[in-house]
Amino acid sequence: MAKKASSPRLQAAFEEHIEQTEGQVDRLEKIFEMIGKSARGKRCPAIDGLAEEASEIIEEAEDDTVRDAGMLSAAQAVEHYEISRYGTLAAWADKLGMSDAGDLLRETLEEEKETDMKLSKLAESEINARAEQGDDDTPKGKASSKKKSAGNRHASA
């Protein structure tokens, strides 16, 4: 999505979160070491669905500003999912007496909440307004109001 963003601020937000995610993966690997298990990836149908929705938004948006709003919305949907999961995992770790793992999970949880807040502020200060105004003057930028509202529905959630 960083490559598809027309807003430099949105592109920067996506790139910053990519770097942040690398640190989150490191923390997850530490947690797996703590419990004596090997870390391995596993498919998540919920995230797959959110990624598919983001791809549809990218392909269907007829206007760069609407695409930005839709991508921001899709990114926030992922953040909200991650917030719920990291919060739950941290609580479970505490219940199991694994406070070190809980602390690592809470660190990631706070980063995800911070990212969500940054995305909300970006939506409110720039992205949604540009999409609403149809700030793209090219013929491609003449998106229907239906497309604009569809791509913009979650951007400030």
Taking only the tens place, the pLDDT of each residue in 13-23 is 999 999 999 99
**Nearest to 46, CA basis, from 79, 76, 78, 19:** 78
**Can you give the pLDDT at residue 131?**
81
Residue 1 lies in a domain: no
How far is CA 58 from its chain centroid?
14
Residue 36 lies in a domain: yes
**Can you give the pLDDT at residue 36?**
94
Number of structural domains (the chain) is: 1
B/e letters for 63-102, b = 16+ CB within 10 Å, e = fewer, are: bbbbbbbbbbbbbbbbbbbbbebbeebbeebeeeebeebb
Over range 67-92, report the average pLDDT: 96
Over range 150-154, report the average pLDDT: 40
What domain range is 81 assigned to?
8-150
Q: What average pLDDT does the chain have?
A: 86
Residue 2 lies in a domain: no
**Can you give the pLDDT at residue 89?**
97
* Model confidence, pTM: 0.80
Over range 41-50, report the average pLDDT: 92
Taking only the tens place, the pLDDT of each residue in 81-131 is 999 999 999 999 999 999 999 999 999 999 999 999 999 999 999 998 888
Residue 77 lies in a domain: yes
Residue 3 lies in a domain: no
Residue 92 lies in a domain: yes
Give 133 or 98, the one with higher predicted confidence.
98
Over range 26-42, report the average pLDDT: 93
Domain of 116: which CATH number?
Answer: 1.20.1260.10
Residue 155 lies in a domain: no
**Can you give the pLDDT at residue 135?**
52
Residue 156 lies in a domain: no
